[in-house]
Structure 1
Amino acid sequence: MNVLAIDFGSSYSTCCAVVNGKTISINVDPHSKSPERLRSSVFFHFRDRELPLPAAELVNAKISEMKTEIGTRLDTAKEEYFATNKPDEQQRIERRINQLRGEFHDNVTLQRKAIAILMRDKTIDKLTLDELVEHGDAILGELGFSDYLKQPDKGRLIYSPKNFLAADISGHEDAFATLVAKTLSHIKHAAEQQTGETFTHAILGRPVQYHSTRGESGNQQAITIMAQAAQQAGFSGTVKFLEEPIAAAYAVEQSLVEPKDVLVVDLGGGTSDFCIIRLVPNRGNDRLTVFSVNGIRLGGLEADKALIMHQIAPQLGLNTRTKQGSVIPKAYFYDAIAVDSIPTITSFFSDKYGGEIARTLSVAEEPEKLERLLTIQEERLSERLINSARLAKEMLSNQDEGITLPLKYIEDDFTVPMTQQDLDKAMQGWLHKMLLQIKTCLSQSSVTPTHIMLTGGMSLSPVVRKAIKENYPQFELIENQAFTSVVNGLANSVLES
C-alpha cells in the first residue's frame, strides 16, 4: 500500500512517500533553495481582479435598512399631505409618495444600490477568511511569500495556518480545512509527479498540544480540520495521525545497536513537544513504549518575537514616552508582530489603528522612532519584520561575532546591531518555558532517560543546545536531521506497521 507521510509544520512542511516498501523523499518547493521544505504560509492574491461581492445576508440586511429609511420618508410625506389644504402642494407630495412607494417595491434597484454601498467600503483587509479562500489565488511557499513582500496590498498572507487550527475559530472551520487542503493537495501533486504513483492514504504528524489555550477540545478541533483537509486534498483512503516527537523517535531507532530510554525534544516553529520513549532496534511488530509526553505553545515564532521586542522594538518607540510623561502603549508593539492572530493583525493594519499611532506620534518625545512603527503599520510590514528577526536569529546562531541587521524597507539607512549576548538575553523567557516542560516530562516518567534527542528547527540553535547541556549534562546526545526527522519517522512507522 502506497502512503504519503506529511509533516505539516508551523513554519515548513515536508513529505516522504512510501512506495512498495521503500521511502522516497519528495521535493515540495521548486522555488526554494531547500526544495525539500515548503514554507507553510499562504498568500491569497487578488491581482487586478475585483473583490468578491458581499454575502447575500449582508445585502439583504442593507436592503432592509434602506427600506426602513424609505418607509420613514414615506410616513413623513403622508403627514405632510394631510397637513396641507393646498391642491398644488398635495399633488406635489402625492407624486413624491408614489415615487417612494416605487422605490420601496423596486427590489432589483435596491439590491444594486445595496451592493454598490457595501462594495464602496470593501477592502482586502475586510474580507473574511471564507472570502479569501473562495475567491483569492492561493500562492504557496517561497513564491507566495516573495509575492507578498513585493505587493502586500494585493492580498493577504496567512503566516502559519497550523497555528490557528485549535483556536476559537467557530464558524470558520470549513474555511481553514480548505486552506490546509490547498497545501496538502500541492504536496500530493508533487509526490505523484515525482514517483509516478497515486496516493490515497496518508499519515500526518501532529503536535502533542496544538498552538492554543483551549486544551483537548482545541486538539480535537485541529485533528478534525486536518482530517477534513486531507479528504479535500484527495486522500480518500486511510488518514492516520502520529504525535511528532514519537515520529521523530522512529527516525533514529534503527540506527541504534541496543535499546535506549530517550528524552525526545521537538522544537518546532509554533509548538514544542517532549516525550520519553524506549527505542529498541529490530523491534519488529512490538509497539513503541512511551513513558511520558507533553507539549506547549512555544516555537521558533515566539523566539523571533522575543528578539524583536528585546532588540528592535526599542528603536520603534518601545519604552519611550509622550511629552506629557505617559509611556507609549506596549500593545502597539505586541500587536505589530501578532502574525499568528488574524483578528489582531487585521486590527493593527486598520486605518483606525494607524490613526491612533499617528495621534500618539504627534505628542511623542522621540517621534522619529514611532514613525518607524507607523511605517510598519501603513505598509503592512509585520511579516517582513518577523522574517528579518528569524534571519538575524539564524545568523547569530551560526557565528560568534555580532551582526548589523538591515531594515531599510522601514526607513532608509535604518539598521539594528545585534550580538550573541543580545540573543541570549532575548531568549531567556523562551528557554525558561522550554526547560520547565522538560522538567515536567521527566517528572511524569517512570524511567530516567540516558539519552536526549533534539529535533525541529529551533534545536539547531546554539543558545538552546547550551541551555539543555548545562541543565542536563548527564544525557548523551543522539544526533538526527532536525528538519526531516519527523517526516522520516512517519514514513518508518508505516514500514513497521
Structure 2
Amino acid sequence: MLSGDLRVPDFCGLDFGTSNSTLAVQAGNSTRLMPLEGDDLTLPSAIFFDFEAHQPRFGRAAVQAYVAGTEGRLMRSLKSVLGTSLINEDTQLQTRRIPLHSVIEMVVRHIKATAEAACGRELTRVVHGRPVHFVDGDDEADQRAEDSLLGIARAAGFKDVAFQFEPIAAALHYESQIEREEVALIADIGGGTSDFSIVRIGPDRARRADRLDDILANDGLRIGGTDIDRLLSMETVMPHLGFRSPLATKGLLTPNQWYVDLATWAKINLLYHPAVLAEVRRTARQAVHPRLLERLATVLEHQLGHALAMKVEEAKIALSSARTFDIDLSMVEPGLEAPATRVRLAEAIADPVNRLAAMVQGCLVQAGLKPNQVDAVFLTGGSTLLPAVRDAICAEVPEARVVEGDKFGAVGLGLALDAARKFG
C-alpha cells in the first residue's frame, strides 16, 4: 500500500493492453504505476481458468499454471477481439460457456481490485487507453470496440469512464520530462496495434486546458507484437508441423487455416475441438510427409498451442539483441528445434514494417511537416525493441533525437496525467 502521506484521488489511468496492462494513479505531485502482481508494475493480459481449483488465475500466475500442466484453459491477447465478431462469441469452460466480453471484464475487474488494494482506496473514475484504430478502415467497428470497452469498464466497477488515444497518453508522459518546447513523433508499437502521433509539447503547453491544437497528426493500424509473433511462427515453427506440406493428390497442400489459427494468440483455443483433431489425422493419412501432420495432431491433442506461442514470443524477444535463436519444440517431439535468425525475422515482417514506415510518412503529410522539422521520436511499446521496427520508424525522421520511453509504463502514466486533467 502507498505510504499514508500520499493522498490518492479516486481517479486513475488504465492501459489495458493486448500483451500487458498497467494502471497508474496520482500520488502526491506525481503519477505512479500500481503493482498489479506482487511487486510487478505490469500484468500480462492473460487469464487461466483453473479446472482443478475452480478459480481464475491472472497474469504470470495464469501462464505459470498453464505451463505447469494444470488442467484448465489459458486465454491471452483478449483485446484483439474488440471490434470483431468474436467479442459476442462464447468460450467453453468444461460444462459451461462464458461470453468473451465477460472474460475481459474479469481481467479488468481484477486489475482494478489489485490496484485499489495497493493504493488503499476505491477507484471510481478512469481514463481508459485506446488505440487510434481498433479496426483498420472501419469507423463503425471502431466505435463498437470503444462501446464494448466502455461497457466492460462500467461492469467492472468504474462509474465515470473517459478515453484517450494511447500515443497521446505517451506524449503527455514524455512532456512531463522535457524543459523546452518541441515537436515529437510518438511511436507506440504495442501487442495488437501500432499508433503514431505528432504533437507539440512543452512545459508551457502542458498547463493549457485545451490541447487539441497541439495534436498535429494522429493515426494507427492494427499491427503489433502478436502479428510479429504470428509471422515468425509461420516462417519458423509451422513448417515443422506440416505447413505448406504436399498431399498425395498432386498440387494440393495442407490447409493453411490450421496454422494461421495456431499462430494467432486469440484463435488458438478454436483448434481444441475433437472435429479439428480428427480432420488433421485424416489429412495425415493423405500427406506425403505424414510425420509432420502427426506433430500437429500432438499439439492439438495435448493443447500445446499456447506453449508454442510462448516459445515463439521468447524467440522474438531474444532476436532483439541476438542474431540467432533456436526455438525449443521438444514438447512436441524430443530434440525438435526450429532455427530462427534476425534476418529471417526481418524478412517475415517486411510487409508490416513497410506499412509502419508508410504511416509515419502519412503522419508527416497530415501534420504539414518535413522530416527535419521533427525534434524527437519517442519510442514506447515492447515491439520498438526490434531492430527492424525501430530502424524503419527512425529512418523516416533521420535528424530527430531518439528517446527511449518506458516500454510498458509510458501510456499508463500518461493516462493518469490525463485523468488528473479530466477529473482532478
TM-score (norm 2): 0.88
Amino acid across the alignment from 1:462: P
Aligned length: 400
Amino acid across the alignment from 2:65: D
Task: Give deviations 1:300-346, integer Å, cap 9, x for gaps.
Answer: 000001101111122222232123332222223112223324xxx45
TM-score (norm 1): 0.75
Specify which of 131, 143, 161 is matched with residue 61 of structure 2. 143
Segments of structure 2 that go 5 or more residues without pairing to the other structure are: 1-8, 91-97
Deviation at 1:151, TM superposition (A): 3.7
Amino acid across the alignment from 2:350: Q
What CA distance in whole angstroms lies between the structure 1 residues aligned with 2:404 and 2:75? 33
Specify which of 131, 136, 155 is matched with residue 207 of structure 1. 131
> Compared with structure 1, are the counterparts of its residues 423 and 338 closer, same or farther at alpha carbon in structure 2 (3 Å cutoff)?
closer
Task: Give deviations 1:346-378, integer Å, cap 9, x for gaps.
Answer: 542222221221122112222222221121122
What CA distance in whole angstroms lies between the structure 2 residues aligned with 1:363 and 1:460? 43
> Compared with structure 1, are the counterparts of its residues 479 and 287 closer, same or farther at alpha carbon in structure 2 (3 Å cutoff)?
farther
CA contact 2:32–2:413 (8 Å) conserved in 1: no
Structure 2 residue 146 is matched with structure 1 residue 223: yes
Alignment of 1:363-402 (within 5 A): 363-400=286-323, 402=324
Alignment of 1:18-97 (within 5 A): 18-30=26-38, 35-47=40-52
Aligned counterpart, 2:15: 7
Specify which of 465, 468, 488 is matched with residue 390 of structure 2. 465
Specify which of 338, 346, 358 is matched with residue 436 of structure 1. 358
CA contact 1:167–1:213 (8 Å) conserved in 2: no
Deviation at 1:197, TM superposition (A): 2.2
Deviation at 1:242, TM superposition (A): 0.7
Deviation at 1:145, TM superposition (A): 1.9
CA contact 2:354–2:392 (8 Å) conserved in 1: no
CA contact 1:285–1:496 (8 Å) conserved in 2: no
CA contact 1:5–1:18 (8 Å) conserved in 2: no
Higher strand share: 2
Amino acid across the alignment from 1:311: T
Amino acid across the alignment from 1:397: S
Alignment of 1:49-448 (within 5 A): 137-151=55-69, 154-169=71-86, 171=88, 175-210=99-134, 212=135, 215-236=138-159, 238-283=160-205, 284-288=207-211, 289-325=214-250, 326-341=252-267, 345-400=268-323, 402-448=324-370
Specify which of 445, 466, 476 is matched with residue 401 of structure 2. 476
| Higher-Rg member (1/2) | 1
Task: Give deviations 1:257-280, integer Å, cap 9, x for gaps.
Answer: 221111111100011111111112
Amino acid across the alignment from 2:67: L
Deviation at 1:164, TM superposition (A): 1.0
Task: Give deviations 1:451-488, integer Å, cap 9, x for gaps.
Answer: 21111110111221222234432332123111111011
Amino acid across the alignment from 1:490: L
CA contact 2:247–2:287 (8 Å) conserved in 1: yes
Aligned counterpart, 1:490: 415
Secondary structure in structure 1 of the residue aligned to 2:282: helix
Task: Give deviations 1:140-169, integer Å, cap 9, x for gaps.
Answer: 1111122223347x3333222211121124
Deviation at 1:213, TM superposition (A): 5.4
- The answer to which of 177-186 and 271-280 deviates more is 177-186
Amino acid across the alignment from 2:335: D
Amino acid across the alignment from 1:445: A
CA contact 1:405–1:418 (8 Å) conserved in 2: yes
CA contact 1:21–1:495 (8 Å) conserved in 2: no
What CA distance in whole angstroms lies between the structure 2 residues aligned with 1:407 and 1:171? 34
Aligned counterpart, 1:454: 379
CA contact 1:2–1:20 (8 Å) conserved in 2: no
Deviation at 1:209, TM superposition (A): 0.8
CA contact 1:7–1:486 (8 Å) conserved in 2: yes
Segments of structure 1 that go 5 or more residues without pairing to the other structure are: 49-135
What CA distance in whole angstroms lies between the structure 2 residues aligned with 1:171 and 1:481? 34
> Compared with structure 1, are the counterparts of its residues 348 and 408 closer, same or farther at alpha carbon in structure 2 (3 Å cutoff)?
same
After superposition, the CA RMSD in angstroms is 2.3
Deviation at 1:205, TM superposition (A): 0.7
Higher helix share: 1
Percentage identity across paired residues of the two chains: 29
What CA distance in whole angstroms lies between the structure 2 residues aligned with 1:176 and 1:335? 17
Specify which of 3, 16, 22 is matched with residue 24 of structure 2. 16
